[in-house]
Amino acid sequence: VDGTTDEPEARLRTGLADAEFEALYRASVGRIYAYVARRVGPALAEDLTAQTFAEAWAGRHRYDASQGAPIGWIFGIATNLLRHHRRKEETQLRAFARRGLDPVDSFDETEVVDRVMVSEGWRRVASVLAELSEEDRNILTLAGWAGLSYDEIAAAIDIPVGTVKSRLSRARTQLARRLASAIDLT
Amino acid sequence: VTPDDDFESFRGTLSHLDTEAEQRIRRRFEQLRDRGSNVTPTLNDVSPEGTEIVELEAVAATDDVSPRHTHRVLMGMAAAAALLALIGIVTLVRNADDTADVASGVDGVPLTELANRAANQPDLDLLPGQYLYRSSIEGASFDAIDALAAGQSVELFELWLDREGTGLRRINESRWTSTSPGTPQGAVSTEPRDIQVRPAQPFFNPSLTYAELRALPTDPEALYAAARRTGGDPSDPAFEAQTLSWWLAIETTPPAVRAAAFEALAQLGAEPIGSVTTYNGQDGFGYQGAGEDGAPWIIVIDAASTRVLAFARGAGAGDALWTDATRFDEYGDQWIVDALPS
């Protein structure tokens, strides 16, 4: 199990062996950290990443391979933990939309941040994210920042693939509209 | 600029995990793994047998929120203007010429009296195989001060859920109307569609399962603390009030919990503002309070049944650059049925 493959034999089983869990950890810890840090900032990201894997460890015997590759499962746990910090996330997004204060950039100067994107365009993205419902924000960030496929997102947040597609399309439309409006006025 | 270009730009600014941070995460993970339990149990982690944990946590958190009880009745001129705007959103996009019917001089029923009434109402509990049905409307209006984007959205839902969180979510209408000079004018609507809701979904709101809902504290302060904990940080009375309104708006919330919720709203400083007509034309009494930054919120109640008709919250005076925050939830019919719609 490398965290991203969808091997036929894996789909027939329930639970993750210890070695499989370790492989999943190594394959995905960086991605989970990046996703969580982008959403709530580095100050919380390390602890939330550790909590994500602790929860996964505790529930590794209940992992159901028929629901998809383990990468979706692990991102689902992370997304669930993020729910407890949604206000912090929304507050940060709004602050950034207003003042251009990027929580990632400002909290850890050593992070590699694309300076071009820490700009007006990214402020628009932040404002769109803050407006989205929690579920839409989860879908958009799982696609955009976690890089999950439709199937993986569906497994992560336990909704049908069709719903993922329609809601992602809607969220992307909102994103495009907001960015286009910024461009039109400049 | 294509949508794909936009989405590509969205992928920027991701952090990278350096070796030291990775080692710290590993150590923390191993601590938690070896301890064999969650570090931060929340309401979402609590089963019916775990009620005591919820209440203990809620009581422990009470100290954190005691300042709430010295609520701010602040509402200066700017906040009063924001309040009028908020009342207006109760009639949001229904008709541009409509205004909310707020009768001056009507005191309404005190929230403490609503608590008494709620406590004496029958306890509705879902039996296996039954579904709780509810129709609702969610609306929002955003109008950035720099006019880069403005619009309104309204979604009409029906939801059937059983005790396990299984059921059907029907979106009857989803409408987004742009009024921004920088974006295409007009409305965008989607076709009605059904979404099968799978087990283990939260029950009607983003916070709780059905078992957790039934196990909520019946002490107002503990319930308030529970509402505070479901939302995470930072605390804001407007969010807490919204969470209480979610719980009140579910018919199967136990009467003692509903009574505690009304008491908690009273302790938050909610004041009667008289009669209010909702977006969908329901008449009730409005109660208004203020959020952390002075942002007003309003809950609309049918005093006879103690049913929540709507909850709305708006942007505060200190949030003038961000005026999207006018949002409302309205609740319609609600009853218990034995089957999903065909």
Compute the distance between CA of residue B327 and CA of residue B318 in angstroms, rounded to an integer.
17
Residues of chain B contacting A51 with CB distance shorter than 8 Å: 32, 38-40
Report whether B125 contacts B215 (CB < 8 A): no
Instruction: Say whether residue B109 is in contact with chain A using an 8 A CB cutoff.
Output: no
Amino acid at A109: E
Identify the sign of the CA torsion A52, A56, A57, A59: positive
Among A35, A122, A166, beta carbon nearest to B12? A122
Q: How confident is the model at residue A120 (pLDDT cuts 50, 70, 90)?
A: low
Q: CB-based contacts of B316: which residues, under 8 Å, 6+ apart?
A: B79, B82, B290, B291, B292, B293, B294, B295, B296
Give me the mean pLDDT over the B141-169 stretch. Answer: 71
Compare A59 and B96 and report the one with higher pLDDT: A59
Report how far residue B84's alpha carbon sits from residue B98's, in angstroms, rounded to the nearest whole number: 14
Q: Is a pLDDT exceeding 70 seen at residue B90?
A: no
Q: What token pair was written down for B13? A: 């600014």
> Can you tell me which residue has the tokens 């490398």?
A2
Q: Cβ contact (<8 Å) for B184 and A177? A: yes
Choice between B278 and A25, residue whose per-residue pLDDT is larger:
A25
Residue in chain B lying closest to A117 (CA): B12
Does the CA dihedral A47-A51-A54-A60 come out positive or negative? negative
Rg (CA), chain B: 21
Pairwise CB contact (< 8 Å): A104 & B15: yes
Q: Rounded to an integer, what distance in angstroms lies between the CA atom of residue B230 and that of residue A18? A: 32
Most trustworthy range by pLDDT among B73-77, B157-161, B232-236, B259-263: B259-263
Is B38 near chain A, with CB under 8 Å?
yes
- Region B195-214: mean pLDDT is 70
Measured distance CA(B83)–CA(B85) in Å, rounded: 5
CB A93 within 8 A of CB A47: no
Contact A146, A69 (CB under 8 A): no
Rounded to an integer, the average pLDDT of B186-211 is 65
- Cα separation of B338 and B1, whole Å? 51
Which residues of chain A have a CB within 8 Å of the CB of B233? 85, 87-88
Closest-CA residue of chain B to A177: B183
pLDDT at residue B301, as a whole number: 94
How far apart are the C-alpha atoms of A116 and B36, rounded to whole Å?
A: 43
CA distance linking residue B42 with residue B49, whole number of Å: 14
Average pLDDT, integer, range A84-108? 56
- Asked if A122's CB is within 8 angstroms of B322's CB, the reply is no
Least Cα distance to A159 among A72, A83, A89 occurs for A72
Calpha distance A71→A169 (Å, rounded): 22
| Closest Cβ–Cβ partner in B33, B196, B232 for A86 | B232
User: Using CA of residue B200, residue B202, residue B207, residue B210, what is the dihedral sign?
Assistant: negative
Residues of A within 8 A of B12 (CB-CB) are 114, 116-117, 122
Contact predicate A38/A122, CB 8 Å: no
Q: What is the pLDDT of residue A185?
A: 31
Q: How confident is the model at residue B221 (pLDDT cuts 50, 70, 90)?
A: very high
Does the structure's ipTM exceed the value 0.85?
no
Peptide linkage before B234 cis (omega within 30 of 0): yes
- Taking contacts as CB-CB distances below 8 angstroms, the residues of chain A near B181 are 185
- Say how far apart CA B279 and CA B90 lie, in whole Å: 5
Higher pLDDT, B223 or B185: B223
Chain B CB contacts of A29 under 8 Å are: 17, 22, 25-26
Closest-CA residue of chain A to B16? A34
3-class SS of residue B133: strand
| Candidate from A51, A131, A145 with C-beta closest to B32 | A51
Length of chain B, please? 342
User: CB–CB of B288/B296 below 8 Å?
Assistant: yes
Cα B250 from Cα B235, distance rounded (Å): 23
Q: Which tokens sit at B154?
A: 């309204």
